[in-house]
């Protein structure tokens, strides 16, 4: 089945139109291929290709993901260039073939070699003057380069009625993750009076790469123009392949899918609008019909051939084991749709603006289905599809538009009642044309998962260089869809001398490390390896396979302008590390709410004294590791602290350290052997009282202890985080599992800071087999007050004896008062 899976990603079938049919940072010192020249070869011969990049001085072989290109020689020229000789058979299908360069110190990024059918000629400068273009013959491929503000002109002679088609491979040959020096080509066909008769900037079929066509009514000279759409460019980096000729260039193949093993009858719509009938024998073994977990359809590349030539690059359809249901007009009323049976692949075309296509099918209450639209992503259709699902009452159950940054949607739904349900598809902007084709995969929802490799360096797909006598490690991730059980992993087709250490992905978890180890006598070699996962759901086996995502070219906001999937990853046995490394297996566990240290030792080879840096490949759930530690020059070991939070996942977990060091090329990164870390429940719960004391006093702090489980070893408890100005003469106490409390004497200094302090914690240290592991609990609260001021005692006031009352002397009378009294007297 491996060869079938390779074909599904980049296999080819040839359509003969109207004639006949045929079957067709676990990174090392990372080498990088920036570009190669020429970008492609003509099938049926030998060619020498120069690869240009960085850290290539120890290149030794090439891995092609798809069979067909034979590598005759790989010769390193210097650190920046390599020459390879390749040979291709005369019947090799045209298209792009992914390859990876292997060096003694690593595996380079994924690149693509084009294979074509037409002779190749080189652009010859100067050709940037419309009046003096480069003369070229029809049905040739031109390889050229766009420098800044460069414009290339090519002249062809056409007869009346002779179709001229121009297709460019520009963005498809750029590889850069920093959005630099990217060719966004603009092409045009001009007549001798400099009028544009056909132009193309972006295209639905090739995204940033354009394609255009023109058929003259009279003989004449025509000019093909090539430039960057914004007049940018960069020598050597902005290279292109320009196909010029009368070859077939289909834009659409109708229907959009077929059943494997069938003779596929299709209508092929060419770029000039002509429609031809064609037949194609579809592959018989693309998908295993006996596997209940196999994907039901796959993209299948189709190359078209006729008397005028062969299409330079393929179109795509969906091929699998689902019945094909072609739309039947009229079908635009979702309340009265034509009925069909599902699961199925629903195929159709939105042939005019405001067109709607509907498909009705019967389902029972509780049945669940997965709906996936294929238009832009597989078929390169201009359709920006919207899909609705309606219930028997005509009400919307589920809808999908764009999903995950893609224009094609997918979703699941469950029927709430028995009856006829309807799927409707239309264009988001209500557009339509004979080219707006689609395929909708309708399958029953079932538990499944797929596997991928987690990036270890941002935006770079993982490769696995394994040092002789050493290890390299990666993280396998599972994308689960209704399946949450344990997954067992197996690896296939590793290089000779390399073995894999695997662990099951635990139930409900999505990642686990895998370690590859090369024997001490392993020979340099490389391979493309596979990873398969198997789980159980009752008595049913659920399988998942590897699909590795490669970011090839990133644009603004780190958005992928071009990407690629492979179903295998690359591994290579590389040069030995200049030291031996050991991550020492701990004898004791780490406890929830606890901490411990890992010990790493190295044994240096003579002459190697560089620093060695360490970081974990991944952390088990709830575990944090200090990843800033290193072994400096002259040293041979280091301890690495780690902690576990209160909800850390208990059980045994593999721990692997990434090991990085400087080389004469760059930084090499491999790994240690794994150790198994036991994560266990805590031993005690502690309850702190709310304590209060005054400065200058002493306090007995009694902390309650509750045993949670038994454990062996000597146990002591230490009170830490004591506030400033407070001391504990006996901060460490030995305890037993039977103790229910531990008491710490506290002495509060006269100048201790007053207020409420919530800093105190207790550390439980358990010593066993010469190792100590910790549990930390808190926080305790103590309030420190100043003493109340003392009241002053005052003396009782003396009793004052009252003075004897004395009569005041009479006030003397005035002369007037005296005369009045005499007059009133008798």
For 357-374, how does the pLDDT look when each residue is reduced to its tens digit (9 = 90+)? 999 999 999 999 999 999
Cα–Cα distance for residue pair 257/348, rounded to 1 Å: 10
Identify the residue with better confidence: 610 or 792. 610
**Which helix (H) or strand (E) is 502 found in, with range?**
none
Burial of 362 (0-12, 13-18, 19+ CB in 10 A): middle
pLDDT above 90: residue 743:
yes
* Whole-number Å distance between alpha carbons of 606 and 226: 57
β-pair partners for 361: 421
Q: How far apart are CA 83 and CA 125, in angstroms?
A: 24
- For residue 679, what are the CA distances in angstroms to 116, 248, 616, 644, 675? 58, 64, 16, 8, 13
The sign of the torsion formed by the CA atoms of 339, 340, 341, 342 equals negative
pLDDT for 385-417, tens place per residue? Answer: 999 999 999 999 999 998 877 889 999 999 999
DSSP state string for 183-213: --EEEEEE-TTS-EEEEESSBTTTBTS-EEE
Structure-token pair, residue 628: 């800033």
- Cα(141)–Cα(608) distance, rounded to whole angstroms? 52
Looking at residue 772, its pLDDT comes to 92
d(CA 700, CA 520): 62
Give the E-state strand segments of 575-645 in sequence order: 579-583, 590-591, 594-604, 612-616, 623-625, 630-631, 637-644
Cα separation of the two ends of the chain: 159
- Residue 202: is it exposed, middle or buried by C-beta count within 10 angstroms (0-12/13-18/19+)? middle
φ/ψ (deg, to 5) at 817? -65, -40
- 430-449 b/e (C-beta count within 10 Å ≥ 16 → b): ebbbbbbbbbbbbbeeeebb
* 693 neighbors 782 (Cβ within 8 angstroms): yes
Q: Give CA–CA dist 622/642, Å, rounded.
A: 11
Confirm if 289 and 321 have CB atoms less than 8 A apart.
yes
Confirm if 752 and 737 have CB atoms less than 8 A apart: no
Provide the H-helix boundaries in 734-825.
Answer: 815-824
Q: C-alpha 738: how far from its chain's center?
A: 51
Alpha-carbon gap, residue 668 to 575, rounded angstroms? 10
Q: Structure tokens of 340? A: 């069909």
- 823 has pLDDT over 80: no
For 3-19, how does the pLDDT look when each residue is reduced to its tens digit (9 = 90+)?
444 444 444 455 554 43
Q: What is the mean pLDDT of the chain?
A: 91
| Residues 213-239: tens digit of each pLDDT | 999 999 999 999 999 999 999 988 999
pLDDT of residue 825: 65
Q: What is the pLDDT of residue 180?
A: 86
Say whether pLDDT at 499 is over 50. Answer: yes
The pLDDT of residue 22 is: 32
Better pLDDT: 388 or 29: 388
- Distance (Å, rounded) from C-alpha 437 to C-alpha 267? 12
CB of 530 closer than 8 Å to CB of 537: no
Number of H helices, E strands in the chain: 2, 67
For residue 793, what pLDDT is reported?
Answer: 60
Token digits of residue 352: 């005019």
The secondary structure element, H or E, covering residue 545 is strand 540-545
Residue 114 to residue 241: CA distance in whole angstroms: 9
- Please, which residues bridge with residue 403 across strands? 406
* DSSP code at position 245: E
CB 821 within 8 A of CB 810: no
Q: Are β-strands 344-349 and 357-363 bridged in parallel, bridged antiparallel, or unpaired?
A: unpaired
Q: Dihedral of CA 322/325/331/336: which sign?
A: negative
Using the predicted structure, report yes or no on whether residue 824 has a pLDDT greater than 80: no
Q: Write down all domains in the chain, each with its CATH number in brackets.
A: 120-246 (2.60.120.380), 251-300+309-444 (2.60.120.380), 448-574 (2.60.40), 579-680 (2.60.40.10), 684-785 (2.60.40.10)
- The two tokens of residue 686 are 């502690």
Residue 28 has pLDDT above 60, yes or no: no
Q: Residue 248, exposed/middle/buried by CB under 10 A (0-12, 13-18, 19+)?
A: buried
Contact criterion met (CB below 8 Å) for 614 and 638: yes
- The 10s digit of each residue's pLDDT in 614-623 is 999 999 999 9
- Is 143:162 a contact under the CB 8 Å cutoff? no
Q: Is the pTM of this model over 0.95?
A: no
**Cα-trace Rg, the chain:** 40
Contact at 8 Å (CB) between 384 and 377? Answer: no
pLDDT digits (tens, 9 = 90+) for 149-179: 999 999 999 999 999 999 999 999 998 888 8
Q: In what order do the strands lie in the sheet with 134-135?
A: 134-135, 151-158, 220-228, 185-190, 196-200
Phi, psi (deg, nearest 5) at residue 173: -110, 5
DSSP letter, residue 557: G
């Amino acid at each position: 089945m491996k060869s079938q899976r390779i074909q599904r990603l980049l296999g080819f079938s040839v359509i003969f139109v109207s004639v006949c049919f045929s079957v067709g940072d676990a990174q090392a010192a990372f080498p990088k291929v920036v570009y190669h020249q020429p970008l492609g070869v003509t099938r049926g011969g030998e060619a020498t290709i120069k690869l240009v990049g960085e850290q290539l001085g120890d290149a030794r072989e090439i891995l092609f993901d798809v069979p067909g290109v034979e590598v005759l020689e790989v010769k390193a020229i210097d650190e920046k260039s390599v020459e390879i000789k390749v040979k291709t058979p005369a019947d090799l299908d045209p298209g792009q073939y992914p390859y990876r360069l292997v060096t003694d110190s690593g595996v380079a990024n994924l690149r693509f070699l084009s294979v074509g059918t037409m002779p190749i000629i080189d652009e010859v400068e100067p050709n940037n003057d419309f009046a003096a273009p480069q003369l070229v013959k029809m049905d040739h491929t031109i390889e050229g380069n766009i420098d800044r503000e460069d414009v290339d002109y090519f002249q062809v002679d056409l007869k009346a009625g002779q179709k001229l088609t121009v297709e460019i491979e520009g963005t498809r040959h750029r590889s850069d993750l920093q959005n630099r020096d990217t060719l966004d080509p603009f092409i045009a066909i001009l007549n001798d009076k400099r009028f544009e008769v056909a132009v193309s900037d972006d295209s639905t079929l090739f995204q940033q790469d354009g394609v255009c066509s023109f058929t003259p009514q009279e003989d004449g000279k025509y000019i093909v123009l090539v430039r960057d759409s914004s007049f940018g460019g960069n020598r050597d980096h902005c290279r292109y392949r320009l196909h010029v000729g009368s070859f077939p260039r289909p834009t659409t193949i109708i229907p959009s899918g077929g059943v494997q093993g069938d003779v596929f009858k299709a209508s092929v719509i060419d770029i000039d609008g002509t429609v031809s009938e064609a037949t194609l024998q579809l592959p018989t073994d693309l998908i295993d019909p006996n596997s209940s977990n196999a994907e039901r359809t796959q993209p299948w590349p189709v190359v078209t051939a006729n008397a005028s030539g062969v299409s330079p690059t393929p179109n795509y359809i969906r091929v699998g084991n689902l019945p094909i249901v072609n739309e039947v007009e009229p079908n635009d009323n979702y309340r009265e749709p034509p009925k069909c049976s599902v699961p199925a692949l629903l195929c159709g075309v939105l042939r005019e603006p405001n067109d709607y296509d509907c498909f009705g099918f019967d389902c029972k209450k509780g049945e669940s289905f997965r709906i996936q639209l294929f238009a832009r992503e597989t078929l390169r259709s201009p359709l920006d599809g919207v899909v609705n699902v309606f219930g028997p009452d005509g009400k919307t159950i589920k809808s999908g538009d764009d999903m995950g940054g893609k224009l094609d949607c997918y979703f699941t739904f469950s029927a709430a009642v028995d009856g006829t349900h309807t799927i409707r598809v239309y264009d988001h902007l209500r557009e339509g044309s004979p080219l707006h084709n689609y395929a909708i995969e309708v399958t029953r929802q079932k538990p499944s998962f797929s596997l991928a490799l987690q990036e270890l360096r941002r935006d770079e797909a993982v490769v696995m260089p394994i040092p002789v006598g050493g290890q390299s490690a990666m993280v396998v991730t599972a994308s689960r869809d209704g399946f949450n059980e344990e997954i067992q992993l197996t690896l296939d087709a590793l290089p000779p001398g390399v073995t894999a250490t695997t662990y099951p992905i635990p139930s409900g978890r999505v990642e686990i490390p895998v370690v590859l180890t090369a024997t001490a006598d392993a020979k340099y070699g490389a391979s493309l390896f596979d990873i398969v996962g198997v789980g159980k759901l009752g008595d049913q086996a659920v399988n998942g396979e590897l699909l590795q995502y490669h970011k090839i070219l990133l644009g603004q906001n780190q958005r992928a302008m071009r990407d690629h999937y492979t179903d295998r990853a690359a591994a290579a046995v590389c040069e030995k590390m200049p030291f031996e490394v050991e991550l020492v297996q701990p004898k004791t566990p780490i406890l929830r709410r606890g901490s411990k240290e890992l010990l790493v030792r190295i044994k240096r080879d003579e002459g190697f004294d560089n620093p060695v840096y360490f970081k974990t490949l991944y952390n088990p759930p709830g575990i944090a590791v200090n990843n800033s530690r290193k072994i400096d020059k002259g040293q041979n070991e280091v301890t690495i602290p780690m902690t576990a939070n209160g909800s850390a996942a208990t059980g045994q977990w593999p721990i692997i350290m990434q090991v990085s060091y400087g080389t004469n090329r760059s930084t090499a990164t491999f790994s240690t052997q794994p150790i198994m870390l036991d994560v266990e429940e805590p031993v005690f719960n502690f309850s702190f009282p709310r304590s209060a004391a005054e400065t200058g006093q002493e306090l007995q702090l009694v902390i309650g202890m509750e045993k949670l489980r038994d454990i062996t070893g000597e146990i002591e408890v230490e009170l830490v985080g004591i506030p400033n100005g407070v001391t504990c003469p006996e901060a460490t106490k030995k305890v037993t599992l039977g103790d229910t409390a531990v008491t710490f004497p506290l002495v509060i200094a006269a100048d201790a800071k007053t207020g409420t302090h919530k800093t105190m914690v207790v550390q439980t240290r358990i010593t066993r087999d010469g190792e100590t592991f910790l549990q930390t609990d808190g926080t305790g609260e103590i309030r420190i007050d100043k003493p109340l001021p003392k009241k002053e005692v005052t003396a009782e006031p003396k009793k004052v004896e009252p003075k004897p009352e004395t009569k005041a002397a009479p006030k003397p009378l005035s002369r007037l008062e005296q005369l009045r009294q005499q007059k009133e007297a008798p």
